[in-house]
Amino acid sequence: MDKKLAESIEEWMKHDKNENTRSQIKLLKDKEAWDELRKLLLERMAFGTAGSYSLEFH
């Protein structure tokens, strides 16, 4: 596990108040599922424009 991932895991565990997500992250860490943790904690989420709209006043 690299330093950036370790810091991200520590930060997540410190701030996450949801027991379900905390236990999932802990389980992945215990299983040393580093690739999965990198996907969850380090990769940016892609957002499309679905649901976006502009307001035009006439």
**What's the predicted TM-score (pTM) here?**
0.72
Q: Is the pLDDT of residue 11 over 90?
A: yes
Domain that holds residue 11: 3-41
In a domain, 57, yes or no: no
In a domain, 58, yes or no: no
3-state DSSP of 18-42:
CHHHHHHHHHHHHCCCHHHHHHHHC
In a domain, 25, yes or no: yes
In a domain, 54, yes or no: no
With cut-offs at 50, 70 and 90, classify the pLDDT of residue 49: low
Joined together, the tokens standing for residue 57 give: 């006043």
In a domain, 55, yes or no: no
Q: Is the pLDDT of residue 58 over 50?
A: no
Total number of domains in the chain: 1
More confident residue, 54 or 37: 37
- Which tens digit of pLDDT belongs to each residue from 16-33? 999 999 999 999 999 999
In a domain, 46, yes or no: no
